[in-house]
């Protein structure tokens, strides 16, 4: 039975048209993935708000990300629905539910904080779906470039403080390079994570160069914890043969000549007149690698807030002190430890959430090589 209406396209032309559509859509996914990774790994939303124009709020960039990912979600609605019942999505949705429950009798500041957190948690689900629905081959090659850009920003920031952002920018520390992240601790963590993503993409000879460059970048942030984690990561990469065993000579030389390197770097810092207002803090951080003692103001402050977070957990281990408490509490800074934050604010459930995230990372399937996946879990635990 015929309808009397001609076919829109002959079969072979229809297949060709669908093939073109598929290629265009894949290119769209690739471009959007690149845009999102650049925005996130170069901290463009926060940097724009803090340095360029405070009228441009970070959330505008997050809304843009969602808008760009929306067509993918629309055409892959079945995958989206399956992702919403994945372990990660269910865990995040549970956390969002707990956050909403905490709004009962909450003050205005807490309400605003919780709503912002929930928006970011929803964004993480959207990002998780988007990147899990496309081939890693379509975006993984961007990580070496992101690493090089961040390293260049860090070195520039160290050589010329105040060039990339005013020295009075909230979160900035004179002498501690941070690039576009402004916060030196954050950029040190991002460098390590980006390095891990970049290493499988490049050939073995270049892996040593990337890793050593990352170590230098982390050192310029003067973040002791990240430097130790980076050092151990280098050892793991060599031990699992992801880099030539010959590369072990570099950490060996570092340990042998560490006193000389620290002494020379101390002299260099003292010669920098532009660092004079914070040189004592920088020197005390370097001194840690010789004495293994932390007695600078920053470390003592961190121990104080860590003890405060532990006390909050022990006072109410079941429910915690409440969502957002460690952000709005009387101390100048937070605990600098994600596990402690979750324990202090959510109690035992917060610790379980953290453990589940670690297990998901351990069992994740982003890397084809399981060793890299386990290293990602190691970085998560170490930097938490």
Match 């709020």 to its residue by tokens: 57
Least confident of 112-116, 308-312, 329-333: 329-333
130 and 24 in a single domain? The answer is yes
- Asked if the structure places residue 4 within a domain, the reply is no
Task: Count CB neighbours of 350 within 10 A.
Answer: 23
160 and 283 in a single domain? The answer is yes
pLDDT per position as a tens digit, 270-320: 999 888 888 988 988 888 888 877 777 778 888 899 999 999 999 999 888
What is the model's pLDDT at position 292?
A: 78
- Angle, nearest 10°, between helix axes 279-291 and 224-239? 40
Nearest-5° Cα angle at 314, 310 to 320: 85
Residue 102 to residue 328: CA distance in whole angstroms: 14
What is the model's pLDDT at position 11?
A: 57
Residue 200 to residue 237: CA distance in whole angstroms: 11
109 and 175 in a single domain? The answer is no
pLDDT per position as a tens digit, 2-24: 444 444 545 555 565 466 678 88
240 and 181 in a single domain? The answer is yes
Average of pLDDT values for 194-223? 94
Q: What is the mean pLDDT of the chain?
A: 91
Domain span holding position 348: 296-384
What is the model's pLDDT at position 364?
A: 93
Please return the burial class of 304, using the count of CB atoms within 10 Å of its CB with bins 0-12, 13-18 and 19+: middle
Average of pLDDT values for 343-361? 95
What is the model's pLDDT at position 20?
A: 67
User: Could you tell me if 131 and 175 are in contact, meaning their C-beta atoms sit under 8 angstroms apart?
Assistant: no
Residue 143 to residue 100: CA distance in whole angstroms: 36
What is the model's pLDDT at position 293?
A: 77
Joined together, the tokens standing for residue 260 give 């000389």
170 and 282 in a single domain? The answer is yes
CA atoms within 13 A on the CB side of 171: 16
The structural domain count of the chain equals 3
pLDDT per position as a tens digit, 165-204: 998 998 899 999 999 999 999 999 999 999 999 999 998 8
260 and 228 in a single domain? The answer is yes
What is the model's pLDDT at position 106?
A: 84
Is the pLDDT assigned to residue 161 strictly greater than 70? yes
Per-residue pLDDT band at 366 (split at 50, 70, 90): very high
What is the model's pLDDT at position 212?
A: 95
- Higher pLDDT, residue 5 or 355: 355
Q: What percent of the chain has pLDDT over 70?
A: 95
281 and 326 in a single domain? The answer is no
What is the model's pLDDT at position 1?
A: 44
Best CA proximity match to 136, nearest among 370, 362, 366, 360: 366
- Measured over the CA atoms of residue 85, residue 87, residue 88 and residue 93, the dihedral's sign is positive
What is the model's pLDDT at position 129?
A: 97
What is the model's pLDDT at position 5?
A: 45
Q: What percent of the chain has pLDDT over 90?
A: 69
What is the model's pLDDT at position 34?
A: 97
95 and 35 in a single domain? The answer is yes
Residue 39 to residue 58: CA distance in whole angstroms: 10
What is the model's pLDDT at position 4?
A: 46
Rg (CA), the chain: 24
- The residue among 269, 293, 317 that closes a domain is 293
pLDDT per position as a tens digit, 121-131: 999 999 999 99
Is the pLDDT assigned to residue 368 strictly greater than 80? yes
- The residue among 138, 172, 190 that closes a domain is 138
What is the model's pLDDT at position 105?
A: 82
What is the model's pLDDT at position 2?
A: 46
90 and 197 in a single domain? The answer is no
Best CA proximity match to 98, nearest among 292, 269, 306, 353: 353
What is the model's pLDDT at position 291?
A: 80
Structure-derived torsion over alpha carbons of residues 36, 39, 40, 43, reported in degrees to the nearest 10: 180
- The residue among 246, 263, 293 that closes a domain is 293
Q: What is the separation, in whole angstroms, between the first and last Cα of the chain?
A: 67
What is the model's pLDDT at position 16?
A: 54
What is the model's pLDDT at position 22?
A: 83
């Amino acid at each position: 039975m015929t309808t009397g209406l001609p076919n829109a396209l002959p079969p072979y032309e229809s297949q060709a048209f669908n093939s073109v559509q598929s290629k265009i859509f894949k290119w769209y996914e690739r471009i959007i993935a690149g845009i999102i990774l650049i925005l996130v790994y170069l901290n463009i939303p926060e940097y724009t708000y803090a340095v360029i124009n405070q009228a441009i709020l970070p959330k505008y960039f997050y809304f843009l990300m969602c808008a760009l990912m929306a067509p993918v979600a629309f055409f892959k609605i079945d995958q989206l629905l399956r992702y919403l019942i994945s372990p990660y999505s269910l865990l995040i949705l549970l956390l969002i539910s707990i956050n909403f429950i905490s709004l009962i009798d909450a003050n205005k500041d807490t309400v605003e904080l919780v709503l912002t957190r929930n928006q970011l948690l929803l964004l993480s689900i959207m990002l998780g779906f988007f990147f899990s629905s496309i081939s890693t081959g379509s975006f993984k090659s961007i990580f070496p470039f992101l690493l090089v850009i961040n390293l260049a920003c860090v070195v520039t920031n160290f050589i010329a403080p105040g060039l990339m952002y005013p020295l009075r920018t909230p979160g900035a520390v004179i002498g501690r390079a941070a690039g576009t992240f402004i916060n030196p601790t954050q950029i040190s963590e991002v460098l390590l994570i980006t390095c891990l993503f970049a290493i499988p993409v490049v050939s073995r000879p270049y892996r040593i160069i990337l890793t050593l460059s990352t170590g230098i970048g982390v050192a310029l942030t003067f973040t002791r914890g990240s430097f130790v984690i980076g050092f151990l990561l280098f050892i793991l990469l060599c031990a699992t043969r992801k880099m030539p065993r010959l590369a072990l000579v570099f950490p060996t030389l570092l340990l042998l000549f560490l006193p000389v390197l620290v002494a020379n770097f101390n002299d260099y810092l003292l010669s920098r007149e532009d660092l004079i207002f914070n040189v004592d803090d920088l020197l005390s951080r370097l001194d840690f690698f010789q004495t293994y003692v932390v007695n600078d103001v920053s470390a003592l402050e961190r121990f104080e807030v860590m003890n405060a977070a532990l006390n909050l957990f022990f006072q109410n281990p079941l429910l915690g002190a409440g969502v957002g408490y460690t952000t709005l509490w009387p101390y100048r800074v937070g605990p600098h430890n994600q596990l402690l934050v979750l324990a202090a604010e959510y109690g035992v459930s917060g610790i379980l959430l953290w453990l589940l995230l670690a297990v998901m990372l351990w069992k994740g399937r982003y890397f084809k090589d399981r060793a890299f996946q386990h290293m990602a879990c190691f970085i998560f635990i170490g930097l938490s």
